[in-house]
Chains A and B, each alone.
Chain A
Amino acid sequence: MPPAVIVTDLVKQFGRFAALRGVSAEFAPGRLYAILGDNGAGKTTLLRALAGLTPPTRGSISMLGTTDLRSVCGQLGYMAHPSLLYDEMSGMENLGYFARLYGINNKGQNEKDQRCGDVIRAVKLDPSLTRPVGQYSQGMRQRMSLARALLNDPKILLLDEPFSNVDVRSAREMVSLLVGLRDAGKTIFVVTHQASLLEGAADEFVWMEFGKIVSRTADLRPPETRLETQ
């Protein structure tokens, strides 16, 4: 099966600072990748580049067989560190709006409401909650943000710190949801500092350092540890 994502010699400069320094990698479809590394390693920049939000200074990204990321953006789900939701609207109102951006309402209002309700229930929230998202707890906001990323039933999911500020039980529920999605054939990238949550769930741990991928491992041992034990 052809790779879902191919990154070739990706460089991203912010002024004189290089956030990505020649990243090249291939990622197979239907796998869950945990992207790990210290702060400033380039994880979020890589994810934003894959989402088409940060145009690379050099290099290319091929996704689902095309380098025109705009043409496949309907098949991407992106969750950032901020919620990407309107604080003044309820969860259903937020998702209702985003559903219209993805043309989910084209088949009718009922189908749109059904889809929004389904993804809200999938992240263990109640679709009938009428209070604005701004009044949600941080954990609830994270889950609603994940629901928004799942709304268009994407083939590729890009998740930046989905477990931050989420309690352990909810985080584990999110991990099992992601495993289910992976098993359904979706390719998932998770940037996280809570790698232990993905132990046994992720297919590959991608380690980044100073804007480069330094190691790809099937288990959670960091690259240094592996060197010591070799």
Chain B
Amino acid sequence: MSNAAGVTRATLDKDLRLEWRSKDAINSMLFFSLLVVVIFSFSFDPTAEESRRIAGGLVWVAFLFAAVVALNQTWARELRNQVLDAYRVSPAPPNSLFMAKVMGNFIFVTVLQALMTPLFIVFYNLRALGPAYQLPIVAALGTWALVVNGTFFAAMSLRTRSREIMLPLLLFPISIPALLAMVEATGAILTGEFSAKFWIVLLAAYDVVFTIASLFLFGFVLQAE
């Protein structure tokens, strides 16, 4: 295993261990998503047909807002006791830290989705009329789009005074194309009215472009004061 891969794995192990002990991110995300599901189900009283049309937007907006909670936690841990400086003075590659953080957030948000999806199905009486096998693909690509940008912008807003506010201000506008693709693809699969392939390809392209751009720029972000 190369040093970069080894450092990524070590950092991911460490983050998973810290999250397992504190459960800070996962608990906050769960409670937030749970509130969204319950409040929206009481606010609207949609039929199954309407649910299929609005569920895509509802689900992804809930996951986007919940992910922000985890993304803010990611770097907060590195700021306590200035541990990030210990990483910066080490010969470990900056991108290993970034990839470990992205993978960690991907795992946290995926766990959240696994726990919340049954609730969405029950509360909104959902059933896919299109090809259901495409849903996990959309979920994986969509989650990656959220966490790769979110992790990058959370790192960028790390040294700002009000970083909890700064992260959504930076993240949400740039996530609009990905969010649109996620919502449309999910809607297409649930209603079965049109093909989701175009949106899935768009989402995959978005992931590739923003992953490469983030990897290219993260070294500068990490070394900035």
Residues of A within 8 A of B (CB): 51-55, 70, 73-74, 76, 78, 80, 82-89, 93, 97-98, 100-103, 105-106, 148, 152
Contact = CB atoms under 8 A, between A and B. Distances in A.
A78 B89 contact: yes
Contacts of B17: 89, 93
Contacts of A84: 81-83, 85-86
28 contacts: A51-B89, A52-B88, A53-B85, A53-B89, A73-B89, A74-B91, A76-B89, A78-B86, A80-B82, A82-B81, A85-B81, A86-B18, A86-B81, A88-B18, A88-B21, A89-B18, A93-B17, A97-B13, A97-B14, A98-B90, A100-B6, A100-B10, A101-B91, A102-B90, A102-B92, A103-B6, A105-B10, A148-B86
Contacts of A73: 89-91
B77 interface: yes
B22 interface: yes
Nearest to B78: A86
A161 B10 CA distance: 29
A74 B92 CA distance: 9
Interface string B188-225: 00000000000000000000000000000000000101
B90 A86 contact: no
A83 to B, nearest CB: 5
By secondary structure, the A interface counts as loop
B85 A80 contact: yes
Binding site secondary structure of chain B:
helix
B3 A103 contact: yes
Interface of B: 3, 6-7, 10-11, 13-14, 17-18, 21-22, 77, 80-83, 85-92, 223, 225
Of listed A74, A88, A89, A102, residue having the most chain B CB within 10 A: A88
Contact of B10 (A55, A74, A78, A97): A97
Contacts of B81: 82-87
A188 B39 CA distance: 60
Nearest to B91: A74
A26 to B, nearest CB: 22
B86 A98 contact: yes
